Amino acid sequence: MTSAAPQTGLAVRGKSVSWLGKRLAASLLTLVLITMLVFAATRLLPGDMALMILGKDATAESLAALRAQLHLEDPLWRQYTAWIAGVATGDLGYSVISRVEVAALLTPRLQATLSLIVLSLAVSVPLALVLGFATARREGSVGDKLVLFGSVAINALPEFVLGMLLVILLSTNIWHLFPAVSSLSPGQPVLHQLDKLVLPGLCLVLLQVTYLYRLVRAAVIDVMTSEYFHFARLKGLPEGLILRRHVLPNAIVPAVIAIGTIFAYSVGGMVVVETVFSYPGIGSALTQAVGTRDLPVVQAAVLIIAVIFLISNLVTDALAHSITPPGKGGQK
Amino acid sequence: MLKVENLSVVLADGTPIVRDIEITIAAGQTIGLVGESGSGKSTIARALLGQTGAGVRIASGRVSVDGRELLSLSPADLRNACGRIIAYVPQDSGAALNPALTVGRQIIERLLIGPDRLDRAEAFRRVAEVLTTLGLPSDKQFLARRPGELSGGQLQRIGLAIAVVARPKVLILDEPTTALDTSTRGEVITMVRQLTQSMGAASLYVSHDLGLISAVADAVTVLYAGEIVETASAQRLFAQPAHPYTRALLEAVPQVRQKLPIKGIPGQVPDLDARLQGCSFADRCSAVQPKCRESKPALAQQATGRVRCFFPSAAPIRRPGDLGPETVGDHGIVYRVDDLAAGYPTAPRLLDGISLALRRGKCTALVGESGSGKSTLSRCLIGLQPITEGRMGFADAAQGAGLRDSRRMQYIFQDPSGSLNPRRKVGDSISLAARHFFPGEDPRPRVEAALARVDLSPAILGRFPSQLSGGQKQRVAIARALVAKPEVLLCDEITSALDVSVQASVLQTLKRLMDDGLSLLFVTHDLGVVRTIADEIIVLKQGRIVEQGPADQVFATPEHPYTRMLLDNVLELPAGVPA
């Protein structure tokens, strides 16, 4: 097929800007819907929150006082708008259990989680690229099959099993290399306690690499069957240049999208890993808060996770959009 | 000068794909390498640059350019020769260019590597020079475009530019114009000729299109089942083919000049492992002798070329005279389209003012280049594309019969590999259609009757599409349409993916169906096929009919300049001697 009207660079840029604008507007709308959902969900939790907090022995007066303090008697819409107004000005409220500001409670948790994710991705992305390219070039060989089998096996293990295996292997009497429990010392920056990050980080790296490398491998194999790959060889280009210049830009798109998804998922979805290693992340903070009906914490944590999810999706899409070649679904 | 000797390419188990290939091309000369699918022509084209597909290797042979042998070079030296000494022009540049890289980068990159690399300024000068020769802009903005932003003709010229920018001594052109419209094709061919002459390059032009080869090549090598069967000067080969396969192939090519009876080659190319005993063409040859099956003929030198046959012919090719129009039988109007339009009136319309009538037992050809609207029109007729104005329907249909008439009009797609479900046996594919249109009846007799009408044996019903040849698959697709007992068949480029010899036999089948009273709307860009089968012609350009009339009249006295342009761009085989 001959292509339709060729596009000029300027028109393409204009389209990209309007595409970004649309995505931003859609994300904002999603965010508003999420706040409503979060609010509705927390208010629909069964049981009387005041009773939960004060216990069965609480007097009617103290219960009523607490309800008034938490504005539980107000109409729902007023509670919602009050909460939103607070969020908009950066006031996330107070934890009803520990009586400290929610922001102060969650900030170190979020830092811990983000550090762990960023560090693990910094290891697993290059590793996945190298492994993906190496196995794709030897597709069907014994080495390729072994790595593939190993990666599927690791992915098939539940996270806590993998975590326990690592603990048993690397921090008990087999090889005692790292602390089994990764509870961070408060007040110290996470980056100064790197030894505590090794085990949970390794667990994450294993999970990420095994998934990411398979995407890279499939994309590289796909490119290596393409006409343009063969043509690059017929042109007389050396193998390394072909891989770097002709294969990499086309093979990396699915990996970039997957990195974004992994990042977003990990922020809220690492609860199991955090629990196995007693790592004080935001996921475990959320689970604890749900257990104790600490509603302001639950709401804030879910909102933070949702915002990170949206931002990372937006960034990934924009990135994938900009590296996808025109005529291949790039400009819509 | 390129000299190929004794080149053989084999599968991992040693089964040969091409055997004992010998080609010599002088500087400035163009040799056409002709063959049908499976003949091994693309394998040869790539093997000349030392490359093969996965699971395939070069077993023996020498490829020398100006006396320097390439295949025995170290991998690094062979790589340096590729692109610099011997260069390759791809079949479909749309696929062969990397979508993620700018075209400038893809043209220049070969110049900047290797032992005799150029400095950037010199390389850029060279790129600009080549682009100007090829009639393309060479400014920064153009070089910064990526393949997705260019048209098909521009892409093909970029592919050519990549090949010639390093001034190679040998140019391998692998069907470089097959994906193009005829008007663009002419330009690209002219450029190829200018470039090879100005560079003094020896070029090998690989193609299945005999008309094209007759226009570009000085000499022709014909390939059949992995072997050279004949080599001769273009003049001699097209006038007086010596090998029975060459003769049969030339006779199977439809002509635009006159309407000829359809003549195919029966049978099909033997499988790779069945080629070693005797002459590979023996099973399809009309002049076969017992000797042909016992031993394999050698490629024997003759006065005017080389031929691999024990009983070569020395007679010129003879063609019967024009058949003329046929007028017997009832040819009432079956289907009518009145003033049809599609697309919004504000924008340039996809289709506008289309009126046509299909007659019983007649074939109406819809011709035009890509983008002319021929596919859109056929999609309108089967309801895949909404129409915004006008009427269409069977002449005898009640008002608003709509899709209830879908049984009476059946659609056959260009590519049978795509239109047949690969996971379903062909028998099930056909009987599914039978059960859909005639629920509650036993589909078997209908399926077998449809199969008989397209000359397929019932043994084929239990096979999957992947186990059939291209021609068989297209017949199955036709049978699936016939099982609905249609009155009109919509054929969308249904022969363009087929080899000439197979195309002829499919056309014969269609011709017989027309004699049984079926009407055809035949969408195609191949005017030779139109000449062979069509009774009426409709020429489309930019969604409008520019010319319409009886085939003989349109071919003899085309009125619209666009029709004349289309006819002028046909590359026709040299005329044979009248029989």
Residue B279 domain-assigned (yes or no):
no
The bridge status of strand B318-319 relative to strand B577-578 is parallel
Query: What's the angle, vertex CA B558, arms to CA B557 and CA B563, rounded to 5?
Result: 160
From chain A, pick out residues whose CB is under 8 angstroms from the CB of B146.
Answer: 325-327
Nearest to B524 by CA among B175, B206, B181: B181
Least confidently predicted of A20-29, A94-103, B39-48, B378-387: A94-103
Domain, as residue range, for B97: 2-102+164-217
CB contact under 8 A, A228 and B99: yes
Kindly state whether residue B201 falls inside one of the protein's structural domains.
Answer: yes
Mean pLDDT check: name the lowest of A31-45, A149-163, A211-225.
Answer: A31-45
Q: Nearest to residue A250, comparing CAs of A283, A228, A231?
A: A228
Does residue B213 sit in the same domain as residue B347? no
Alpha-carbon separation of residue A330 from A327, B360, B538 (angstroms): 6, 48, 37
On whether residue A90 sits in a domain, the answer given is no
- Whether B401 is in a domain gets the answer yes
Q: Under a CB-based contact definition with an 8 Å cutoff, are residues A216 and A151 in contact?
A: no
Mutate to test the interface with A, among B79, B98, B154 (most CBs of A within 10 A): B98
CATH of the domain at B417: 3.40.50.300
pLDDT in tens, B487-519: 999 999 888 888 888 888 889 889 999 988 899
β-bridge pairing B519-524 and B363-367: parallel
Chain B residues in contact with A330 by the CB 8 A cut-off are 148
Q: What is the pLDDT of residue B320?
A: 72
* Cβ–Cβ under 8 Å, residues A177 and A229: no
User: A265 or B58: whose pLDDT is higher?
Assistant: B58
Least confident of A137-141, A223-227, B191-195, B214-218: B191-195
Inter-chain residue contact B114 with A236, CB threshold 8 Å = yes
In the prediction, which pLDDT does A331 show? Answer: 36
B491 assigned to some structural domain: yes
- Residue B98: its chain A contacts at CB < 8 A? 228, 232, 246, 249-250
Instruction: List all residues 6 or more positions away from A29 whose beta carbon is below 8 Å from its beta carbon.
Output: none
Locus of tokens 């938490």? A70
Of A234, A249, A327, the CB nearest to B88: A234
Q: Hey, are the CB atoms on A236 and B181 less than 8 Å from each other?
A: no
- Answer whether A227 touches B (CB < 8 Å): yes
Looking at the DSSP bridge assignments, the partners of residue A94 are A101
Beta-carbon separation of B149 and A1 below 8 A: no
Beta carbons of B95 and A237 less than 8 Å apart: no
Amino acid at site B437: F
Residues 216-245 of B with CB under 8 A from A: none
A2: contact with B, CB 8 A cutoff: yes
Q: Does B479 touch chain A (CB under 8 A)?
A: no
Report which residue type is found at A6. Answer: P
Q: Is A137 exposed, middle or buried (0-12, 13-18, 19+ CB in 10 A)?
A: middle
Confidence band, pLDDT 50/70/90 cuts, at residue A326: low
Which residues of chain B have a CB within 8 Å of the CB of A136? none
Q: Looking at beta carbons, which residues of chain A come within 8 Å of B110?
A: 235-237
User: Within a domain: residue A51?
Assistant: no
Distance from CA of B349 to the nearest CA of A (A): 15
Question: Which B-chain residues 34-73 have CB contacts (< 8 A) with chain A?
Answer: 46, 49, 51
CA B110-B57-B159 angle, to 5 degrees, is 30
How many CB pairs below 8 A link A and B?
110
Give the bridge partners for B32, in sequence order: B205, B220
- The amino acid that residue B33 corresponds to is L
Average pLDDT of chain B, as a whole number? 88
Q: Which H or E element spans position A38? A: helix A9-43
Query: Nearest-CA distance from B142 to chain A in Å?
Result: 10
Q: Which of B200, B217, B234 is the last residue of a domain?
A: B217
Q: Which residues of A touch B181 (CB under 8 A)?
A: 2
Q: Confirm or reject contact between B347 and chain A (CB < 8 A).
A: no
Partner A, chain B 107-136, Cβ-Cβ below 8 Å: 109-110, 113-114
pLDDT value, residue A2: 38
Structure tokens of A310?
């949206």
Bridge partners (DSSP) listed for residue B439: none
Query: Does residue A198 form part of some domain?
Result: yes
Q: Which of residues 297-336 of B touch A (CB under 8 A)?
A: none
**Last residue of a domain, which of B195, B217, B239?**
B217
CA A90 to chain centre: 23
Domain count, chain B: 2
Over residues B371-380, mean pLDDT? 87
Give the sheet arrangement for strand B536-541, strand by strand.
B409-412, B488-492, B519-524, B363-367, B536-541, B544-550
Distance in angstroms (rounded) separating the CA atoms of residues A161 and A203: 10
Do B367 and B503 belong together in one domain?
Answer: yes
* Residue A310 covered by a domain: yes
The more confidently predicted of residues B519 and A72 is B519
Does residue B401 have a pLDDT over 70? no
The residues, any chain, with a CB within 8 Å of residue B11's CB and separated by 6 or more, are B17, B55, B56, B272
**8 Å CB contact of A236 and B90:** no
Over 90: is that where the pLDDT of A22 sits? no
Residue type, B250: L
Closest Cα to residue B421, out of B497, B382, B491, B473? B473
Answer yes or no: do B90 and A232 touch at CB < 8 A.
no
What's the one-letter identity of residue B359?
Answer: R
| Domain annotation covers residue B123 | no
Confidence of residue B523 (pLDDT cuts 50, 70, 90): very high
| CB contacts, 8 Å: B109 with chain A | 235, 237, 241, 245
Say what the pLDDT of residue B60 is. Answer: 93
Q: Given an 8 Å threshold on Cβ–Cβ distance, is B110 in contact with A246? A: no
Measure the CA–CA gap between B458 and B426, rounded to whole angstroms: 10
Indicate left, alpha or beta for B542 from its phi (over 0: left) and psi (-120 to 50: alpha): left
Q: Considering only alpha carbons, which residue of chain A is nearest residue B148?
A: A327
How far apart CA B95 and CA A228 sit, in angstroms, is 6
Q: Which residues of A touch B145 (CB under 8 A)?
A: 6, 9
Q: Could you report the per-residue pLDDT of B227-261, keeping only the tens digit for each?
A: 999 999 999 999 999 999 999 999 888 888 888 88
Residues 133-172 of B with CB under 8 A from A: 141, 144-155, 162
Whether residues B146 and A326 touch (CB distance < 8 A) is answered with: yes
| Cβ-defined contact of B148 to A330 (cutoff 8 Å) | yes
Please state the domain count of chain A.
Answer: 1
Considering only alpha carbons, which residue of chain B is nearest residue A331? B148
Whether the per-residue pLDDT at B578 is higher than 90: the answer is no
Rounded to whole angstroms, how far apart are CA atoms B208 and B39? 10
How far is the C-alpha of A217 from the C-alpha of A209, rounded, in Å? 11
B224 within some domain: no
Around Cβ A31, how many Cβ atoms within 10 Å?
Answer: 14
Asked if residue A194 belongs to a domain, the reply is: yes
Nearest-Cα residue of chain A relative to residue B97: A228
Nearest CB to B149; choose among A1, A6, A226: A6
A188-223 pLDDT, tens per residue? Answer: 666 677 777 888 888 899 989 999 999 999 999 999
Instruction: Report percent pLDDT > 90 for chain A.
Output: 21
Written as six digits, the tokens of B342 are 């599609």
pLDDT digits (tens, 9 = 90+) for B274-316: 777 889 999 888 888 999 998 889 999 888 889 999 998 888 8
Domain contains A295: yes
Domain assignment present for A79: no
Residue A9 belongs to some domain of the structure: no
Nearest-CB residue to B151 (from A3, A226, A234) = A3
B103, B142, B149, B369, best to mutate vs chain A, most A CBs in 10 Å: B149
Q: For a pLDDT cut of 70, what percent of chain B falls above it?
A: 97
Domain encompassing residue A236: 100-323
On whether any CB of chain A is under 8 Å from the CB of B181, the answer is yes
| Contact predicate B167/B96, CB 8 Å | no
B79 with A238: Cβ contact below 8 A: yes
Position A248 pLDDT exceeds 70: yes
Which positions 427-466 of B are in contact with A (Cβ < 8 Å)? Answer: none
Name the closest residue on chain A to residue B102, using Cα atoms: A325
List, in order, residues 6 or more apart from B171 with CB less than 8 Å away: B86, B87, B89, B163, B164, B195, B196, B201, B202, B203, B204
Between CA B548 and CA A322 the distance in angstroms is 48
DSSP 3-state of B132: helix
Report the CATH number that the domain containing residue A126 is assigned in CATH.
1.10.3720.10
How far is it, in rounded angstroms, from Cα A147 to Cα A217? 11
- Segment B97-138, tens digit of pLDDT: 999 999 999 999 999 998 888 999 999 999 999 999 888 998
The partner residue sitting opposite B82, judged by closest CB among A234, A323, A330, is A234
pLDDT of residue A6: 44
